Amino acid sequence: MTVVLRKMKISDLYTIEKIESLCQLGTWTMDSYLHEIRNPIARYIVAERDDQILGFAGAWCVVDEVQIMKVGVLPNYQGSGLGTMLMRALDHIAIDEQCKQMTLEVKENNTKALNLYKKMGFVVSGHRSHYYPDGMGAELMTKILISKQARKSKK
């Protein structure tokens, strides 16, 4: 499967809102995503194949930390490696922005996402009770990043 990653555009928002709903990611609206696209600290990407958006991810780059805001993959494509691809792209964005760590919150019962994030090097660093509108708690996860320069010196 040939997938292209690119920057999210305003014309993508209808599809992004649909993926948000299908993945039960929360309550963001098209206006929320429009605000995110215009937010100078936000970085949003989409994964597409044959002009069909299959998933997306977004993060805020604040000083030296990246806060992952959303990651969503159409249910039929979950488990296909798209989540990993999107997370790796966010890693590269974070390193390019000279960030030292990444953080995210994930529903405590979202086993697929928890496994993906652990595979990507995140560790549980805290818990937020009743974090989501449905009353579900969140696991706070953190990943320490290695700069490009540190990676080069290891070789």
Residue located via tokens 């002009």:
51
Contacts of 128 (CB under 8 A, 6+ apart): 105, 137, 138, 139, 140
* 133 vs 152: which has the higher pLDDT: 133
Which domains, from first to last, does the chain contain? 4-154 (3.40.630.30)
Flag whether pLDDT at 9 surpasses 80. yes
Of 88, 70, 93, nearest to 24 (Cα)?
70
Q: What is the pLDDT of residue 1?
A: 64
Pairing between strand 123-128 and 138-144? antiparallel
Segment holding 83, helix H or strand E? helix 82-96
Q: How confident is the model at residue 26 (pLDDT cuts 50, 70, 90)?
A: confident
CA distances from 45 to 9, 32, 53, 81 (A): 9, 15, 10, 16
Q: What is the pLDDT of residue 71?
A: 94
Say what the pTM is.
Answer: 0.89
